[in-house]
Amino acid sequence: TNYEVDKTVRYVQQPMGGIKRLTVAVVVNHITSVDANGKTVTRPLTDDEKTQINELAKQAMGFNAERGDSLTVVNNSFVSVEQEVLPEIPLWKQPATIEMAKDAGKFLIGLIIILLLYLRLLKPMVRTLITPASPMLPAPPDDGSVVKLSSNESLSARGLGAQGYEENLVVTKQIAKENPKLVANVVTSWVSGNG
């Protein structure tokens, strides 16, 4: 309200849509019962049963005679449709079984790929890392045997003390005189770090 202008403004919001009149029809199936012989029998509703259904429907719909509402209750036999029995689908044709088989196949293919990768790549790599490296030259025997250098020369494996050193020196000088290329190859391999 604005008192300076002497004017009153009122906003009224009406609800959306209004009910002018209701017309309702109710169809009720016949009553099914079993007789003394065990047979299924259908019978129509009595007038009292129709009246009860009529009153129940009026209360449910909010019946108002002043508004011009109308209600009709009809008793009719519904057609019963016999349910068709579908043939049973074999287990291997059922969609759920097919999907499960596809998933199992994908899993098996993945497992086979992982197994092949393990056997072809990882296992040899791990085997080479785990096994100790073999020595470059075999260790000399400790039983006093003689090692053959060539067809004619031999070197004593005992080589202990000054006497063993002198014998080794004499044999080495003799080999150097007879085959200087062999000695040159040995010295070259020592210098390059391969010996």
pLDDT in tens, 132-184: 665 555 555 555 545 555 555 444 444 455 667 888 888 888 888 888 888 88
As a whole number of Å, the CA-based R_g of the chain is 55
State the DSSP code for 69: -
Predicted TM-score (pTM) of the model is 0.36
- Exposure string (b/e) for 111-125, b if CB count within 10 Å is 16 or more? eeeeeeeeeeeeeee
Q: Is residue 18 predicted with pLDDT exceeding 60?
A: yes
**Calpha distance 154→141 (Å, rounded):** 14
The SS3 assignment for 24 reads strand
Selected residue with higher pLDDT from 4 and 39:
39
